[in-house]
Structure 1
Amino acid sequence: MSSGIGVKGTIGRCYPFYADLRKCVGKKDVDSPTAMCWQENEDYFECLHGFKEKKRIMQVAAERKRREKLGESFEIDK
């Protein structure tokens, strides 16, 4: 990932997030707080693993199932 080259030979999908994280870590010094790069780190790991995306998909599926059980329609494209 740190090379920036993806599977298809172009820029990897998560490389921009990695570059932001690397830039942030490079700016850290002894006076900066330890959580200074938390947002960049969170963005990079979300791109790699998609935990928030998977959680949201499961929430939507549960709501769809709940509404179908009640006999209501569940159309996202209204």
Structure 2
Amino acid sequence: MASGYGLNGGPGRCYPFWQEVLGCYVVNSGEGEAGKKKCTPALDDYYECLHHRKEAMRTMKMQVAFRKAEAAHPRENAPKAEQIRSLGLLGKEEEATAVISQL
């Protein structure tokens, strides 16, 4: 788990956080349960380094907020139905049948 060796042989990315947790436990070991509570922030940092849950939650919240903002303000330059028809995509069945009959 916290051997200190990374994938490429150097120190692992979360090893410094693990050292902080161990140091905190060593310093506060005589205080019992109260000492463990003092180490909670260091342990949370270590778990965040391992699993990135807080970062993933923040990213998800930002995506939701972005989607809400997009839905609240529709595109200003969105094409209207008449403009789409004028592109030749709709309402041109006669011309399409003429082209197909020539083939």
Interval containing the TM-score (normalised by the shorter chain): 0.7 to 0.9
* Identity between Structure 1 and Structure 2 (%): 33
Q: Which amino acid aligns with 1:54?
A: A
Partner of 1:67: 69
> Given the two structures, how large is their TM-score scaled by the length of structure 2?
0.64
How many residues are treated as equivalent by the alignment?
73
Bigger radius of gyration among the two: 2
Runs of 4+ in 1 over 3 A off after TM superposition: none
The residue matched to 2:4 in structure 1 has which SS?
coil
The C-alpha deviation readout for 1:18-73, integer Å capped at 9, x for no partner, is 01001111112333513010111000000001110010000000011001101279
Aligned-partner Cα distance in 2 for 1:27–1:72: 57
Q: TM-score, normalised by structure 1?
A: 0.82
Any unmatched runs of 5+ in structure 2? Answer: 76-103
Instruction: Structure 1: give runs of 5+ residues left out of the alignment.
Output: 74-78
Counterpart position of 2:12:
12
Q: Provide the aligned C-alpha RMSD in A.
A: 1.8
Shift of the 51–58 alpha-carbon distance from structure 1 to 2, 3 Å rule, reads same
Alpha-carbon distance in 1 for matches of 2:46, 2:23? 13
